[in-house]
Structure formats: C-alpha cells, structure tokens
C-alpha cells in the first residue's frame, strides 16, 4: 500500500499533463486522510496535492469531516480552495467545529483546527469576518485562562485494587515539582494532558500572531468598542486580579448577576477581554520562569516562553496604552533578575524592545538597558551567531526609533562592528542597511578609521578567543607571535583600542604601523581575509552617506585621512589595491562636488604628489591626486588660487615626471604605469595653460621626451605600445600649448561648455544631425 502510494505520487509529480484521477480512486485517497496511520495521511495528502480537485469537492467539505479534520487534510483543503469565498466558507466550517463538544468528535480535532486557522490568517486575513474574530477571541480566552488544572490521567493509589474507580485526579505541577496553585499554562507539567490543556498550548503559540493581525478584519463596531474601553479604563487600571469563576460566554454557562459584577473583565468586548486574559497569562509565565527547572529542556522552555510572553505584552500595550503602567513593574523586575546573566541575552532583547516602545511613555530610565544591548552583548557575545542575527534584526527593525531616542546607538559602532569582524559573510547584509545610520558629522572620521582597521579587529578577536581557550601553560597556546604580542603588556594598549566599546576615545592610534607588524602573520587567516573582502563595499556606503551629512571642513579632513591611511593598511593580498581604488573614486567625487577642497588641502595634496615613491606603491590613488590637482587648481574653481601655488604644484609634478622618465625603477618595483606618466604630462600642461610663463618648460620637456624615445626602448617603459601612446599624448599636448588661448579652452573648458553636453541631449536636433552625418560618411 505504501509503495503504491509512493509510486503514484512520483508518476503524478513527473507528469506534465493535466493531473486527474478516477472519482473512485479520489474518494479512497480522501478516506485515507483520516487514517489512524500518519504515514497514510502524509502520502494521500501529497498525492491529492498533485491533482486537480473535483468540481463537486472544490471548496466544499462536510461538517462531519470538519470535526474529524487533521493537519494534513486541513492543509489540503486550504491549498485547493479556488477563491476567497471558498476560504471564507472553510473558515466558517472550521470555527463551527470549534464550538462542538468533545463528545462530538475525536479528541485531536481541535488541535488540528487552530493551526489551519492561523495559516488562513497569515495568508488571507480578509476572509475572516468580524463574527469569526469574535468567536475565536472568546475561544482563545477559554483555552488560555480556563483549562483544567488536573492532569489528563488519574494517578493510581496502589495496592490490590488498581482499577479505574481507584484512580484519583492529580493536580498539575510547576517545573520545580510543586503543585500548581494557579491556572494552567504552557509551563505546567504532568504525566498527561487533557484536550483543553493541549489547546492552551496551541493557543499560546498562535496568540501573538493573532493579536498582531486580527485588526485587518473590518470592524463595524470599532467606535462602540473604543467608547466602551474608555468607560472601563479607570476600573481596569485598578483590577490586577480576576476571579477564577470568570468563565467565557462561549461555553453557555449561566452566571449569576452577583458573579457577573464581581469582575470588570466580563464587561469588555471579546477583543478587549482576550487582551486582558493574554496580559494575565504572560504575567503568570513570567512568575513561573523564576522557578528552578529540574531539566535543561525545561529551562530552555522557560527562556522561549519568556521571549514570547514579553513580545505578547508588548503587543497588548501597543493596543491599549493603559496596560503599560501595569506591565512595567513586572518587566523591570524581570530585567533586573536576568540582566546579570548573559545566558538570557536572547530573552533580554524583547525586553529592550518593550523599553524602546513604551519607556518614554512610562518615563523610565532606559540607560541600563542600552548599556547592556550596545555594551556587553557585542563585546562578550560577538561569537554567538544566534544573538548576532537577533540583535542586528532588532536594530534594523527599530532603526528610526533608535536614532531618535537612543543617543548611545550611533556611538556604539566600535562594539557593533565586532559582529561583522567575527563573521563577515553572515552579517554583511545587515550592516549594508545599518551603516548609513551610524554615519554622522561627529562619528564620520573615527568610523572611517574603524572600517579601515576592520581586518585588524577581526584578527584581534580571534586572538582574544584563542588567548582564553589556550592558556599560556599549554604548548598549543604558544608559538604565535601575534598571540604573544596580544598578551604582552607593552602592546596591550594597541589591542584595547581596537576592542573599545564606544566611540569618542580618539579617531585612531599613533602606532598603527607597529600594530600591522604585530598582526602580519594573521593576513591569511580565513576570518581576516573574509573581513577584508567586505571593507571596500562598506567604504562605498560610507562615502555615499557622508557627503549628505558633512560640511566642507569635515570632507577636507576625510581627504587628509585618505591620504594618510593609503600607506597604513594591514598587508593583505589585494586589500591595499582595493582600498586605493575606493579612495580614488571618491576623491574625484568629493572634489567634483566641492572643488574648493583642493585648495583647502593643497599642501597635503602637493606633498603626496611630490613623493616619487607613491608612483610605484600607490599608482591608483596617486594618479587621481595628480588629476585632481591639474583639474581643480585654478582661479575659476577657487579665487584663493594664486600663481605662486600653481607654480609650486607645477615644480613638484615636474620633478616627479623628470625623475621617473630619466631613471630605472627602484629594485623590486615595476615600471611606472603609462596612465601615471600621461596624467602627469596632462596636469603639467593644464597648469601651464593657466600660467603662461610655465609653457616653455613643458614644451622643452615634451620635445626632449620625443627625442629620447626615437632611439628605441627606454628603461622606464618596457612595452613598446605603451611608449608610443605616451609619445603621442606628448605631441598632442605640445601642439596645443603652441596656442595658449586654445590650450586653456581645450584642456580646462568652462562649465557652461561641458555641462550641457548637447551631443547627448535627445531633446535637441544636434544628435540627429550628428548621426545623419555619420551615416552619410560611412555609406561611402
């Protein structure tokens, strides 16, 4: 039987044609859905999912079958619903099944009904009507608050007579073994559970989702409910305990007027009553979590229930602000009890969410919460992948609120980046979203240094873990120079700066080159290499953000940082070149947006471009610095520019160009790139066109260059094609400089000439004319 069902499922799933089954076979498969063997339920459900539902059965299921529903059959029904009306009809039948008594169906029918209702609510909440919401809210109140407090099976008294009549009902117990003195919750234990106790567990698991989404159902009585809630808010704020006789209306019990007036919760509408009972249930769970569990699995269950309970309290307080003042004493006590134990870190995050959402309203001090979230969590639990995921998700979901209400957030980036330094591939997506929020005018410079030192931080974290796991007394704990340096008091300050918890202690350190020497053996460690690979991506995000928040003074400082740090990077293969490429592209962008930056940092730019060693070690950024000087060192860009400054820049670049074209490269260095040589020549020509006294010096150099290269190969250029390109560029510049007025217009045209770009504007006739002329010339 099982083999036949498996083969039938394989045939249907591999068939590309319309999948239909004979009606008789369809009926037999449907009958297997209620088989006591779950294997038959799974296989028959899988086969029926691959077929089209018969028209007579689509969206139609009898009430008798609904009562006998199991999870596989319910999922099949939902998947074969043809329209929203079918889903709504199924939902109505399922809810009717919830109203039936235990004696009307098997004991497991309700436990399968609630999950499928939760699925409907997830995918199609519009199918639920207000009547559905009212009914289910009442049933959830029953299951949550009024489940049996006795175990499902009686306990035998022992002796010779051990028949059914001798079994006595046994009360449920707490996790510490004591008899429970309050209503049943998911943290109660026993030998077996009754159906309503199982429904209590199911209801709690679906409760938060229900509270978050039932508002999507249209409510015609919203105004009346609101007025009713306001009328009772005063009495509710003082009603912290409720009678255990406060039964729901669904079970049809007759309650006297005296008992009806003993509890204000009875006067609430169904949604409000569910909210109140949820509040009580969560408070009970928090109280139960303080009990000492005997088994580790029970202790883990306590933590999971605490997370859910705090999240539910957050939901009900979002809906009803009057509950905030009743909930905060409990939440504050819970935080005080758990905050010293980092094993509860994942429980403390929902508490932080509660403080973030409601702390301002309750006027409570949240400083200790944020000191824990942004302090101890990243610094001590950076290697916990689950906490990293949940903490970063918390930050992403609450980004706007954190920026407005939590000043510690933007200064916590040295700690938060430890998650990225430890496991870059797993969290890089989170930091792509978070990094822009950390860039402010006050943190930009230090954040840039921190991003550049991220591989060093990665290596330091590895050393910290190894130092803890491998004592000095063990042989395996010795032998790494970097580990010895980490443990040495002489270098402790360097590593402590990298491991700092918050910004503000300084942008960087003076002995970066010493730190890089100590960490040289870590350059090929996997974590360090992975971390280095994502730094260029983060730098692009940083510079794209900083131009929106920084003034020109800060941008000038960032240019200085780029020049300084271009030679102070951990020596990782390809890492330096990638960083130089990022620096180069954003240096051009910054100077294009603010040409006056070239004047602000002219001294540093000249010093950088005048160092011949930079031609060989920093080709990318050196080329762009030279281009920036030639392009923007002009009176038209900044009135502060003088002939003296232009001459000084010319002489510095001229000396470098003469040196690299008249000598062999230093030992171990390649020949200068042709782009460097041509950029230097172009920059000299641009500067000379602005100060005509310099034109003879450029022309003399270009004529000598042409004369020298006529003799064949030269020591500073090993490729003949590159040499030809350099000479050609020199001849072009020489020809332009013969007419100084034309040279300046061509080499540095004014903005009104370059900005319109008429040849590319499709709204004018010039591009059409150019294309027409091109076609005419090419046709001949």
HSE-CB at 344 with a 13 A cutoff on CA atoms is: 23
So what's the pLDDT on residue 242?
Answer: 37
| Structure token pair of residue 776 | 């005419």
Task: Report the predicted TM-score, pTM, of the whole model to 2 decimal places.
Answer: 0.82
Both tokens assigned to 51: 């077929």
DSSP letter assigned to residue 375? I
> What tokens were used for 562?
């780029």
Provide the CA 500 distance to its chain's centre, in angstroms: 23
CA-based end-to-end distance of the chain: 80
Backbone φ, ψ for residue 398 (5° rounding) = -115, 25
Separation between Cα atoms, residue 341 and residue 696, nearest integer Å: 77
- 150: β partners: 171
The torsion angle over the Cα atoms of residues 83, 87, 93 and 94, rounded to 10 degrees, is 160
Q: 137: closest CA among 8, 265, 13, 324?
A: 265
Count CA within 13 A, CB hemisphere, residue 304. Answer: 10
User: Hey, what are 260's tokens?
Assistant: 């009806």
pLDDT for 746 equals 83
Give the pLDDT of residue 663. Answer: 85
Q: Is 482 exposed, middle or buried (0-12, 13-18, 19+ CB in 10 A)?
A: buried
3-state SS string for 206-224: HHHHHHHHHHHCCCCCHHH
CB-side neighbour CA atoms (13 Å) of 51: 23
**C-alpha pair distances (Å), 681 with each of 55, 441, 610:** 82, 38, 14
pLDDT of residue 69: 63
Provide the pLDDT for residue 308.
Answer: 96
DSSP 652-713: HHHHHHHHHTSSPPPTT-PPPPHHHHHHHHHHHHHHHHHSGGGHHHHHHHHHHHHHHHTTS-
Asked if 216 and 321 touch (Cβ cutoff 8 Å), the reply is no
The candidate with the shortest Cα–Cα distance to 584, out of 615, 628, 546, 553, is: 628
Residue with tokens 């979901």: 397
534 and 494 in contact (C-beta within 8 Å)?
no
Packing angle between helix 526-549 and helix 413-422, nearest 10 degrees? 140
Mean pLDDT, consecutive 10-residue stretches, the chain (780 aa), reads 82 76 80 78 80 53 53 71 75 74 51 78 78 88 91 54 60 90 91 88 91 66 39 36 40 33 60 93 94 91 95 94 93 94 94 94 91 96 95 96 94 96 96 96 96 97 89 56 91 94 86 93 94 97 96 95 95 93 96 94 94 93 96 90 94 93 85 92 93 91 82 78 88 88 80 62 68 75
CA distance 733 to 738: 9
| E strand or H helix at 101 | none
CB 438 within 8 A of CB 447: yes
CB atoms within 10 A of CB 542: 22
User: CB count, 10 Å around CB of 270?
Assistant: 21
Given a contact cutoff of 8 angstroms between Cβ atoms, the answer to whether 347 and 369 are in contact is no
Which residues are paired to 481 by β-bridges?
none
**Residue of 331, 358, 212, 224 whose CA lies nearest to 275:** 212
At 94 the three-state DSSP class reads: helix
């Amino acid at each position: 039987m099982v083999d036949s069902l498996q083969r039938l499922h394989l045939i249907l799933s591999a068939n590309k044609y319309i999948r239909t089954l004979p009606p008789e076979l369809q009926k037999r498969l449907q009958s297997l859905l209620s088989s006591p063997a779950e294997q038959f339920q799974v296989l028959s459900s899988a086969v029926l999912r691959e077929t089209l539902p018969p028209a007579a059965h689509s969206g139609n299921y009898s009430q008798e079958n609904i009562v006998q529903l199991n999870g596989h059959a319910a999922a099949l029904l939902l998947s074969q619903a043809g329209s929203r009306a079918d889903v709504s009809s199924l939902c109505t039948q399922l809810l009717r099944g919830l109203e039936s008594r235990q004696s009307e169906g098997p004991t497991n029918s309700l436990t399968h009904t609630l999950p499928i209702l939760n699925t409907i609510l997830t995918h199609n909440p519009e199918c639920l009507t207000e009547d559905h919401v009212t009914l289910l809210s009442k049933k959830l109140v029953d299951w949550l608050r009024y489940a049996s407090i006795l175990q499902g099976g009686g306990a035998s008294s022992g002796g010779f007579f051990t028949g059914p009549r001798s079994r006595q009902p046994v009360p449920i117990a707490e996790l510490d073994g004591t008899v429970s003195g309050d209503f049943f919750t998911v943290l109660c234990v026993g030998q077996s559970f009754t159906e309503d106790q199982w429904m209590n567990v199911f209801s709690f698991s679906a409760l938060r989702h229900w509270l978050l989404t039932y508002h999507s159902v249209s409510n015609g009585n919203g105004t009346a409910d609101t007025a009713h809630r306001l009328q009772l808010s005063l009495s509710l704020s003082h009603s912290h305990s409720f009678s255990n006789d406060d039964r729901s209306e669904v079970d049809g019990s007759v309650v006297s007027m005296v008992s009806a007036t003993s509890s204000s919760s009875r006067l609430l509408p169904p949604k409000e009553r569910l909210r109140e009972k949820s509040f009580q249930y969560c408070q009970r769970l928090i109280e139960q979590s303080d009990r000492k569990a005997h088994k580790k699995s029970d202790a883990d269950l306590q933590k999971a229930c605490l997370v859910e309970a705090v999240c539910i309290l957050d939901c009900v307080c979002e809906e009803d602000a009057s509950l905030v003042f009743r909930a905060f004493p409990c939440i504050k006590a819970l935080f005080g009890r758990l905050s010293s134990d980092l094993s509860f870190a994942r429980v403390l995050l929902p508490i932080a969410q509660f403080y973030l959402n409601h702390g301002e309203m309750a006027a409570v001090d949240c400083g200790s919460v944020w000191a824990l979230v942004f302090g101890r969590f990243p610094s001590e639990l950076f290697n916990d992948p689950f906490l990293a995921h949940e903490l970063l998700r918390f930050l992403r979901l609450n980004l706007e609120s954190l920026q407005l209400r939590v000043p510690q957030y933007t200064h916590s980036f040295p700690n938060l980046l430890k998650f990225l330094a430890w496991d870059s591939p797993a969290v890089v997506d989170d930091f792509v979203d978070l990094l822009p929020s950390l860039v402010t005018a006050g943190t930009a410079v230090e954040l840039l240094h921190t991003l550049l030192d991220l591989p060093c931080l990665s290596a330091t974290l590895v050393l910290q873990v190894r130092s803890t796991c491998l004592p000095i007394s063990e042989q395996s704990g010795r032998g790494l120079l970097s580990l010895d340096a980490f443990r040495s008091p002489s270098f402790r300050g360097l590593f402590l700066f990298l491991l700092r918890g918050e910004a503000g202690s300084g942008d960087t350190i003076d002995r970066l080159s010493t730190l890089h020497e100590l960490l040289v053996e870590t350059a090929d460690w996997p974590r360090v290499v992975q971390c280095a690979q994502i730094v260029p991506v983060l730098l692009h995000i940083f510079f794209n953000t900083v131009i929106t928040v920084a003034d020109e003074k800060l941008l000038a400082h960032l240019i200085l940082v780029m020049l300084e740090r271009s030679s102070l990077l951990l020596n990782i293969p390809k890492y330096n070149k990638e960083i130089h490429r990022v620096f180069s592209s954003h240096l051009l962008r910054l100077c294009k947006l603010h040409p006056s930056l070239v004047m602000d940092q002219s001294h540093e730019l000249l010093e950088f471009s005048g160092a011949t060693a930079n031609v060989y070690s920093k080709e990318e950024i050196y080329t762009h610095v030279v281009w920036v000087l030639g392009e923007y060192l002009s009176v038209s860009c900044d009135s502060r520019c003088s002939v003296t400054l232009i001459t000084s820049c010319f002489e510095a670049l001229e000396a470098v160009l003469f040196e690299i074209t008249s000598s062999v490269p230093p030992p171990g260095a390649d020949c200068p790139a042709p782009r460097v040589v041509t950029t230097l020549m172009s920059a000299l020509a641009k500067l000379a066109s602005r100060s005509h006294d310099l034109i003879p010096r450029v022309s003399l150099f270009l004529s000598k260059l042409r004369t020298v290269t006529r003799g064949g190969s030269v020591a500073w250029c090993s490729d003949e094609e590159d040499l030809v390109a350099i000479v050609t560029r020199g001849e072009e510049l020489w020809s332009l400089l013969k007419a100084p007025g034309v040279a300046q217009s061509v080499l540095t045209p004014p903005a009104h000439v370059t900005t319109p770009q008429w040849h590319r504007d499709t709204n004018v006739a010039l591009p059409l004319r150019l294309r027409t002329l091109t076609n005419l010339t090419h046709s001949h």
